[in-house]
């Protein structure tokens, strides 16, 4: 994400807004690489040396026709990759400065007004702290940020930098998002992660089936009362999660005050889909992990005994009312599809909500495996079979239930 003054956008037809993404072409890569080179060469030097060189390159880039905001956007991202020598803000520098100020006050009542007075202060302090006089003045100045010494620069190449810039630009645009629509297709696991993040960020969603997958409409608790500029930064944080999905489309309402600071904000539309994928960083697929040992153990055992039944972990989500239900497994044989949900632990509230969700599912075969120590559940629905288990889920019980569904299907 970038400071909002570095956002670059274009308005189309007074209706659509779009960030000015950087093309991943040779020219842009050349600029990015030149900047990176300067960062790399200045490791071990002072921050002010780096700034000096960058200023020159910026002037050059601008003459060449680059937008200074583009340059500074790249710079902002590169600055974050710097680390500095640690002892910079050490107590010592502060103590030495304090000694200088204190001596100045004691000898001259608050300040020095001549070279002579300065000499007296310096010589007294240097004697007291056992430091050389010229060293003392150097230390006095070393408190300033630009005197910081660069310790390291986290590597990146030009192409990666441009992609990172585009992602940051997109996120910066979304700071001012009032309502976000995500049309996506992804595995149950990926959707689960997305929803978990939406919830963690204090946002709300409703889910609806779409032609390609599911549309999530995302905004915040207070959005229904008034469109407040509050949830944009959080929506921006969601974006990296959907970029690896096999299909994604972003539709957003962006409030923007482009004309002048005082004028009223206008709402623009923003649309982007996975055809623009190449502009953005590619994220590594996250290894799918099991929610519990129970599930893992069951899955491993089950595949050895199932024959034609195929077990799929965290399949594509199901829509239940306005929310999402992601069963743990989908078991398939030919046309027959049966979902399996394992309930190993719950609170009463959780259970209530889950059953509420399950009841809203239509035309779906579901096996609900529940821990027998957790009491009784009754659901009156021919498409749902409840089996109880004790510590381990019996593959035999599951297969029995699967056969029942198979027979229903045949009839």
Task: Supply the DSSP symbol for 46.
Answer: B
Interface with another protein in residues 238-267 (CB under 8 A):
258-262
Residue 118 CB, shortest distance to another protein, in Å, is: 7
Handedness of CA 379, 380, 381, 387 (dihedral sign): positive
Nearer to another protein, 118 or 388 (CB): 118
In the complex with another protein, the residue whose CB is nearer, 154 or 229, is 229
- CB 16 to another protein: min, Å: 18
Cα distances from 355 to residues 9, 347, 379, in angstroms, run 46, 12, 8
> Does the footprint of another protein cover residue 143 (CB under 8 A)?
yes
Residue with tokens 């960062």: 39
Among 141, 151, 209, 278, binds another protein (CB under 8 A): 141
Beta bridge partners of 83: 152
- Residue 356 interacts with another protein (CB under 8 A)? no
Distance of closest approach, residue 134 Cβ to another protein, in angstroms: 15
Task: Determine, following the binding rule CB under 8 A, whether residue 123 of this chain makes contact with another protein.
Answer: no
Token pair of 260 as six digits:
């002048």
Taking CB under 8 A as the rule, does residue 43 contact another protein?
A: no
Q: What are phi and psi of 296, to 5 degrees?
A: -65, -45
* Structure token pair of residue 211: 């032609």
* Tokens 């993040």 -> residue: 197
Distance CA(339)–CA(362), nearest Å, equals 12
Is residue 347 part of the contact set for another protein (CB under 8 A)? no
**Whole-angstrom Cα distance, residue 222 to residue 248?**
26
Residue 118 interacts with another protein (CB under 8 A): yes or no = yes
Give least dist CB 145 to another protein, A. 6
Is 59 or 392 the residue whose CB approaches another protein more closely? Answer: 59
Work out which of 68, 196, 283, 350 binds another protein, going by CB under 8 A: 68
Query: Is-contact 69 8, C-beta < 8 A?
Result: yes
Residues 76-115, one symbol each (x = binds another protein by CB under 8 A, - = not), give -------------x-x--x--xx-xxx-xx--xxxxxx--
**Under the criterion CB under 8 A, does residue 1 sit at the interface with another protein?**
no
For residues 192 to 211, the per-residue mask of contacts with another protein, x marking binding by CB under 8 A and - elsewhere, is ----------x-x-x-----
Strand partners, 371: 389
315: left (phi over 0), alpha (psi -120 to 50) or beta: beta
DSSP 3-state of 268: strand
Tokens of 368: 């609900």
Work out the number of other CB atoms within 10 angstroms of the CB of residue 112. Answer: 18
Q: Which is nearer to another protein, 118 or 301 (CB)?
A: 118
Which residues, including other chains, have CB under 8 Å from residue 384's CB and lie 6 or more apart? Answer: 358, 366, 367, 368
Q: Using the rule CB under 8 A, give the single segment among 22-30, 36-44, 142-150, 267-275 that binds another protein.
A: 142-150
Q: How many residues bind another protein (CB under 8 A)?
A: 44
Cβ at position 154, least distance to another protein in Å: 24
Please say whether the dihedral angle defined by the alpha carbons of residues 112, 113, 118 and 120, taken in this order, is positive or negative: negative
Contact status: 3 vs another protein (CB under 8 A):
no
Closest CB to another protein among residues 214, 343:
214
Strand, coil or helix: 331: strand
Strand pairing class (204-209; 177-185): unpaired
CB of 340 to another protein, least distance (A): 29
Q: Which of 92, 145, 277, 296 binds another protein (CB under 8 A)?
A: 145
Question: Residue 349 contacts by C-beta under 8 Å, 6 or more apart in sequence?
Answer: none
Binding mask 214-243 for another protein (x = CB under 8 A): ------xxx-xxx-xxx-------------
CA distances (Å), origin 64, targets 27, 37, 69, 311, 345: 11, 19, 14, 58, 63
Q: Please, which residue, 113 or 275, has the CB nearer to another protein?
A: 113
Listed ranges 42-50, 139-147, 238-246, 275-283: which one lies at the site for another protein (CB under 8 A): 139-147
The token pair at 244 is: 């690896």
> Which residues here bind another protein, judged by CB under 8 A?
8, 68-69, 89, 91, 94, 97-98, 100-102, 104-105, 108-113, 118, 121, 140-141, 143-145, 202, 204, 206, 220-222, 224-226, 228-230, 258-262, 322
């Amino acid at each position: 994400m970038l400071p909002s003054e570095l956002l670059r956008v274009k308005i189309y037809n007074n209706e659509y807004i779009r960030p000015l993404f950087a093309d991943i072409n040779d020219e842009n890569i050349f600029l990015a690489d030149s900047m990176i080179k300067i960062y790399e060469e200045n490791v071990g030097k002072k921050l002010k040396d780096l700034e000096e060189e960058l200023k020159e390159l910026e002037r050059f880039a601008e003459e060449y026709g680059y937008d200074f905001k583009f340059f500074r956007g790249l710079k902002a991202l590169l600055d974050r990759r710097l680390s500095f020598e640690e002892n910079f803000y050490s107590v010592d520098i502060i103590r030495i400065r304090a000694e200088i100020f204190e001596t100045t006050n004691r000898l001259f009542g608050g300040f020095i007004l001549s070279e002579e007075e300065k000499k007296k202060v310096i010589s007294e302090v240097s004697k007291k702290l056992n430091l050389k006089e010229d060293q003392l003045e150097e230390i006095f100045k070393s408190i300033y940020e630009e005197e910081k010494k660069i310790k390291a620069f986290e590597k990146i190449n030009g192409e990666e930098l441009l992609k990172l810039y585009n992602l940051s630009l997109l996120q910066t645009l979304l700071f001012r998002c009032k309502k976000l629509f995500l049309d996506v297709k992804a595995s149950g696991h990926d959707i689960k992660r997305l929803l978990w993040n939406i919830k963690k960020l204090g946002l709300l969603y409703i889910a609806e089936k779409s032609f390609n997958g599911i549309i999530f409409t995302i905004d915040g608790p207070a959005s229904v009362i008034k469109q407040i500029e509050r949830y944009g930064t959080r929506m921006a944080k969601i974006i990296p999660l959907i970029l690896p999905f096999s299909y994604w489309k972003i539709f957003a309402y962006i409030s923007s005050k482009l004309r002048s600071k005082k004028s009223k904000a206008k709402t623009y539309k923003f649309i982007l889909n996975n055809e623009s994928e190449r502009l953005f960083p590619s994220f590594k697929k996250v290894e799918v992990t099991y929610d519990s040992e129970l599930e893992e153990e069951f899955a491993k055992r089950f595949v050895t005994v199932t024959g034609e039944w195929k077990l799929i972990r965290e399949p594509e989500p199901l829509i239940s009312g306005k929310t999402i239900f992601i069963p743990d497994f989908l078991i398939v044989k030919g046309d027959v599809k049966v979902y399996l949900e394992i309930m190993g632990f719950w609170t009463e509230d959780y259970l209530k909500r889950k059953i509420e969700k399950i009841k809203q599912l239509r035309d779906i075969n579901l096996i609900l495996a529940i821990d027998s120590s957790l009491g009784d559940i009754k659901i009156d629905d021919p498409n749902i079979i409840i089996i109880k288990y004790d510590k381990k889920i019996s593959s035999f019980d599951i297969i029995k239930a699967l056969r029942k569904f198979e027979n229903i299907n045949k009839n």
